Amino acid sequence: MPGTMTRNIDVERYLEHHRMMHRIRAFEEAAARANQDKLVLGAIHLSIGQEAIASGVCRNLRPTDYLLSTHRGHGHTLAKGADPTAMMSELLGREGGICQGKGGSMHIADFGVGMLGANGVVAANINIAAGAAHAIKLKGDDGVACSIFGDGAINRGPFLEGLNWAGVFKLPALFVCESNGFASTTRTDAMTSGEGAAARARSLGIPADEIDGNDIVAVDETVRAAVDAIRGGGGPRFILCSTYRLHGHTASDPAAYRRKDEVDAAWKNDPIGRCAQMLRDAGVASDDLDAQRDAAVFEMDQAYETAKAAPWPDLSLAYTDVQDIGDPRGRAF
């Protein structure tokens, strides 16, 4: 099993990662429970098994850096610093939802922590992130704009257009591909010609790293180096993170299209288990790690309970925040 060899690590830093990954896992398990309870209204897409990428990327971004995420974005949003209760309330479409109950899981955002939105359209966040990076450059700031997308996104146009754009304008953009093996319910390899995402990025002149996305150390260190290079004016970077989607495409997808032994093997490569083992090898007590897990579960259970108790949003919200000019509160018909 990979990741078990003793490494010389910054224990505090990886305890933070361990805690964050458990928070993400616990949030999504609570969300899955809410889905079973029929309280989640639309589709939710779980990132269980991919937490190391969310934690490793966002740990290296500042609150003022921008993040653009996907339909599978709960982990990214939490790791960027959003409030889980407001997120859970959004999944349940309740008052207090982070987007006022108007977006749901696929449109979660928290501009207060630089999280400019999940996106319901595969690959759409790539061009938007390139543009956010363009704004950083035009304003002369030292920020970074990061887009995280799945391997299914590499076959849509924005993967070419957005990376080319960032390269042409030498923008402070970080592109992270969470390669979990599946494009919706189809294996990405079967639908991808050529050598894949990293080769495509390199062909556009963008330096590309290919790493084990379930190894929190690899993600943290690779992203840190990439962000340093980007902030130093080095232009865009691409990181391909290999991982595995332990659940189905949506929380309601049993993923019967893959063999049990494949999934069992993937669970043994769970990034949280690997991080815990590494920390135990570094001398951290199992009880301390369990306490982080239990605190995360408690926090997210509370978030679910709070969301459940919240009322529906005020109906007047249906007409707010559409547009200033031609505001539907003046005339909508």
Partner 1 sequence: MAIMTYAEAGKTALAEEMRRDPLVWAVGEDLGRGGVFGQYAGLIDEFGPDRISDAPISEAAIMGASVGAAMAGTRPVVEMRFADFALCAVDELVNQAAKARYMLGGQTKVPMVIREPMGMWRSSAAQHSQSLESWYTHIPGLVVAVPSTPADNKGLLKAAIRCDDPVVYFEHKNIWGLEGEVPDGDVVLPFGKARMEREGSDITIVSWSSQLHTASRAAETLAAEGVSAEVIDLRTLWPWDRDAVFASVEKTGRLLITHESVSVGGFGAEIAASVSEHLFKALKAPVRRRAAPRIPISYAPPLEDMVRVSEAQIIETVQEMMAV
Where on the chain is the footprint of partner 1 (CB under 8 A)? 66, 68, 97-103, 107, 109-111, 116-117, 119-121, 124, 126-139, 145, 157-158, 161-162, 164-165, 168, 320-326, 328, 330-331
What does the buried/exposed string (b/e) look like for 244-264 if buried means 16 or more CB atoms within 10 Å of the residue's CB? Answer: bbbbbbbbebeeeebeeeeee
Nearer to partner 1, 168 or 291 (CB): 168
Decide whether 124 or 148 has the Cβ nearer to partner 1.
124
Is 117:107 a contact under the CB 8 Å cutoff? yes
Provide the minimum distance between the beta carbon of 119 and partner 1 in the complex, in angstroms, as a whole number.
8
Q: What angle do CA 35, 96, 79 make, to 5 degrees?
A: 70
Smallest separation, CB 123 to partner 1 (Å): 9
Cβ at position 181, least distance to partner 1 in Å: 25
Q: How far apart are CA 21 and CA 30, in angstroms?
A: 14
CB of 292 to partner 1, least distance (A): 30
Is the CB of 108 or the CB of 218 nearer to partner 1?
Answer: 108
Q: Whose Cβ is closer to partner 1: residue 145's or residue 239's? A: 145
User: Is residue 126 a contact partner of residue 137, using CB atoms and an 8 Å limit?
Assistant: no
Closer CB to partner 1, residue 64 or residue 186?
A: 64
Residue among 325, 307, 329, 332 at smallest CA distance from 316: 329
Q: 154 is written with which tokens?
A: 């590499």
Query: How far apart are CB 131 and partner 1 at their closest, in Å?
Result: 3
Q: How far is the CB of 69 from partner 1 (least distance, A)?
A: 12
DSSP secondary structure of 141-206: ----EEEEEEGGGGGSHHHHHHHHHHHHTT--EEEEEEE-SEETTEEGGGG--TT-HHHHHHHTT-
* Smaller CB separation from partner 1, 79 or 109: 109
Taking alpha carbons only, the member of 23, 140, 114 closest to residue 61 is 114
Say if residues 172 and 230 touch (Cβ distance below 8 Å). Answer: yes
